[in-house]
Amino acid sequence: MSLQHPVEKIVTRYWPHKDQNTLKGYKSRGGYQQLAKALGQEPAAIIDAVKKSNLRGRGGAGFPTGLKWSFLPKDNPKPKYLCINADESEPGTAKDRFILENDPHSLLEGIGIACWALGAHTCYIYARGEFKHPSAVLDKAIAEAYADGIFGKKLLGKDFELNVYQVRGAGAYICGEETALLESLEGKKGWPRLKPPFPAVVGLFGCPTIVNNVETISTLPALFEKGPEWFANLGSGKSGGNRLVTLSGAVNRPGTFEVGMKTTLKELIYAEEYGQGLPPGRAVKGVIPGGSSAPVLTADELGVAMEFDAFKPLNSMAGSGGVIVMDDMCCMVRSLWRVVRFYAEESCGQCTPCRDGQPWMTRILRKIEEGRGTREDLETLQHVATSMAPYPPIGLGNTICALGDSGALAVHGFMKFKREFEQHIEEKRCPFGERPWGAFGDFQ
């Protein structure tokens, strides 16, 4: 299968160069020129350009980045902060880590541009605790940038102080939620905050703060190199640029790929440059399109483009770009159980529906998978999910943060495969027996 819309690579374009993660290599390909250019412009003009480019947050919500930046109060005398969310822990997602490993200076240059635009003199990069190698690469890159006079008292020689710090998390998924991230940065337990106020108004240490994903910010140098109009045109609709997705599950060539906003899920799974289809004899049963929180799609729904708004009519979402393919030999009960167990494990425990609902759903799913389930259990499961977050549409959650929605949305989504759940109940066993993982389980 070939692509209908060829993709001009921007984020991953220099990844094949092994020295791209060094300052020398990065500079040899035009690195830090966009920062120098940006420093010659008015901050307001940069924010406008970002707005025009239709750049949207790659952390999961797809929120327009320029718009988010413009919420930063102008007249607040407190310092402003930029926080980079490198906590990437959504199951099925592994894109930020490759940016950090392959092209850390694109993030740092993006940080320079963003901080100049936002008037922030401090930037914290909050990296996932398990990121041993990516963090080491990033630390080296930061040190190089300081040594080269890029960061510090003067940003690239301009009279604008910027300090960049990397902070390592301790391995909690919830600390990727932006307000939990701020709490964690402040040295507290990673409990999401109540909103409003939003971080742009009251954020880190009570000061105005912008939280952005690694991919979002590391896109900025390319965006300014080619211009916002070009960037907007590259995308489609209200989503500018390309995006990184992580393809996993029952495909021949799993991996992290740069796709266009017009690329469809089908193309991603079957195209030669991407997934190269499923192992012989297998067909798609379901695809999780944006990290395990995103409601699953059926094989009939794969014509959807990978653009942020395109998922809305399907009541799913582009999320963090974690695409998980499940083939026809994969047990959906088992898969859902695994997904919900993750959220039960990672719930911060602050609010009641998530704290008690996620483990309860896990227990019910286990019961069904083990052949002990009843029809009432299936009803209870849906009932519990609805109490946590009614669906559709996405976004009606009754909890403090969206992790509560995540488990519930997974359950709601998997109800497209309700027949399989009923089969487990009727047969009092898992029809897939000892091999519930489909093609994925065939790998040695």
What secondary structure letter does DSSP report for 379? Answer: H
257 forms bridges with which residues in the sheet?
245
Q: Which one among 406, 424, 432, 436 touches another protein, defined by CB under 8 A?
A: 406
| Contact of 55 with 232, CB cutoff 8 Å | no
Residue 383: what residue type?
H
What secondary structure letter does DSSP report for 348? Answer: -
Q: Which one among 99, 271, 400, 439 touches another protein, defined by CB under 8 A?
A: 400
351 binds another protein (CB under 8 A): yes
Nearer Cβ to another protein (161/376):
376
400 binds ligand SF4 (CB under 6 A): yes
**Shortest reach from residue 214's CB to ligand FMN, in Å:** 7
Nearer Cβ to ligand FMN (216/236):
216
Q: Which one among 221, 235, 319, 438 touches another protein, defined by CB under 8 A?
A: 319
The pair of structure tokens assigned to 222 is 């390319």
Residues 338-357 that bind ligand SF4 (CB under 6 A): 347-351, 354-355
Q: 58 is in the binding site of which of another protein, ligand FMN, ligand SF4, none (Cβ under 5 to 8 A by kind)?
A: ligand FMN
Task: Enumerate binding residues for ligand FMN (CB under 6 A).
Answer: 57-61, 63, 65, 68, 85, 87-90, 174, 176-178, 211-213, 216, 401-403
**Shortest reach from residue 171's CB to ligand FMN, in Å:** 12
Residue 209 phi/psi, 5-degree rounding, is -140, 140
Residues 285-304 that bind another protein (CB under 8 A): 291, 293-294
Residues 116-145 that bind another protein (CB under 8 A): none
Stated as kind and residue range, the H or E segment containing 297 is: strand 297-298
The pair of structure tokens assigned to 159 is 């009279």
352 binds another protein (CB under 8 A): yes
Nearer Cβ to ligand SF4 (90/144):
90
| Contact of 141 with 106, CB cutoff 8 Å | no
Nearer Cβ to ligand SF4 (138/410):
410
Nearer Cβ to ligand FMN (94/368):
94
> Which residue's structure tokens are 């402040």?
186
Q: Which one among 31, 192, 228, 290 touches ligand SF4, defined by CB under 6 A?
A: 192
What secondary structure letter does DSSP report for 149? Answer: T
Q: 87 is in the binding site of which of ligand SF4, another protein, ligand FMN, none (Cβ under 5 to 8 A by kind)?
A: ligand FMN
| Contact of 329 with 296, CB cutoff 8 Å | no
From residue 180 to residue 219, the character string flagging contacts with another protein as x (rule: CB under 8 A) and all else as - is ---------x--x-xxxxx-xx---------x--------
Which of the stretches 222-230, 264-272, 313-321, 424-432 binds another protein when contact is defined by CB under 8 A? Answer: 313-321
Residue 277: what residue type?
G
Q: Which one among 268, 401, 411, 425 touches ligand SF4, defined by CB under 6 A?
A: 401
Q: CA 80, 86, 91 angle in degrees (round to 5)?
A: 140
Please tell me the count of residues contacting ligand SF4 according to CB under 6 A. 14
Q: 85 is in the binding site of which of ligand SF4, ligand FMN, another protein, none (Cβ under 5 to 8 A by kind)?
A: ligand FMN
Nearer Cβ to another protein (32/308):
308
Cα distance between residue 401 and residue 354, in whole Å? 9
Nearer Cβ to another protein (108/348):
348
Q: 436 is in the binding site of which of ligand SF4, ligand FMN, another protein, none (Cβ under 5 to 8 A by kind)?
A: none
Write out 226-276 in H/E/C secondary structure: HCHHHHHHHCECCECCEEEEEEEECCCCCEEEEEECCCEHHHHHHCCCCCC
Q: At what angle do helices 418-427 and 375-388 cross, to 10 degrees?
A: 140
Nearer Cβ to ligand SF4 (202/354):
354
Helices (H), 123-213: 132-147, 178-185
| Contact of 290 with 312, CB cutoff 8 Å | no
Nearer Cβ to ligand FMN (65/350):
65
- If one counts every other C-beta atom within 10 angstroms of the C-beta of residue 180, the result is 26
CA distances from 385 to 293, 391, 396, 418, 439 (A): 13, 9, 12, 14, 29
CA distances from 73 to 14, 112, 181, 396 (A): 36, 20, 21, 28
Binding site for ligand SF4 (CB under 6 A): 174, 192, 347-351, 354-355, 399-401, 403-404
